[in-house]
Amino acid sequence: MTERAIRLVVGLGNPGERYHHSPHNIGFEVLDALAVRQQLRFRRAFGLQAWGATWHVAGSTVRVLKPRTFMNRSGVAVRKALRRWKVEPEEMLLVYDDVALPLGRLRIRKRGSAGGHNGVTSVIRELDNLEDFPRLRLGVGPRPSGDQLISYLLGRWNPELEAKVSELREQGALALERILRDGVTPAMNHFNSGTPEN
C-alpha cells in the first residue's frame, strides 16, 4: 500500500509561560526549531484553538500546528484542523514527548497506542479511537520514580541537561524535514537506528 504524504504536523504541549521549556513541551519546541530553520511564522489559527504556520516543502503545502488547548484536550484542535483542511489521520504527524525513551532518543512510528500520554490519548479519543497516524516520539526519560512524574514533566529542565535538550530540538527538526522530504518509512529507517543526521 502506498504511503500517504504528510499534510499536517502537530506538536503537543501546554500554552503559557509557566510550561515553557519543560519536558512535556518538547513537541512545541521542536516545531519552534523547525520554524527557525524553515523561516516559518506561527500565527493564531482562528477557530482552531491553535497557533498555525504554513510550510511549503517538496512542492506541497504542509500545515504546522501547536494547539492552544491544554495537553489533555489537544485532540479538539486536531479534529478541527483535520476537518478544515480535509486531511486524513494517516496524513498527520504527531510530535510529542515520551518519558519511556532516554533523553535525546527519537522514535518514528506509523501507528501505535497512546502509551499513557494524555495528549495522545485526547487525539485518539477525538478521532473515534483511531490510532493509525504517524508520530515522532521525543525521548525525555528516564521516567522518574514514584509520584514525581507530573512535577518532572511540567517543571523546567535541569540546566545541566541543556546541551542534550538543545540537541534533541535540532534532531527533532531534522527528522521532520527528512519525513517531509523522503517519507515516513525512510526517516524511520534512518532515525530509529540512532544514526545522526548528516
- What is the four-CA torsion angle of 20, 21, 22, 25, rounded to 10 degrees? 70
Q: How far apart are CA 62 and CA 49, in angstroms?
A: 18
Write the DSSP symbol of residue 145: S
Catalytic residue set: 24
* 6, 184 contact by CB (below 8 A): yes
| Residue 196 DSSP label | P
117 DSSP 8-state letter: -
Q: Which residues pair with 124 in a beta bridge?
A: none
What residues contact residue 54 under an 8 Å CB cut-off, 6+ apart? 40, 61, 62, 63, 64
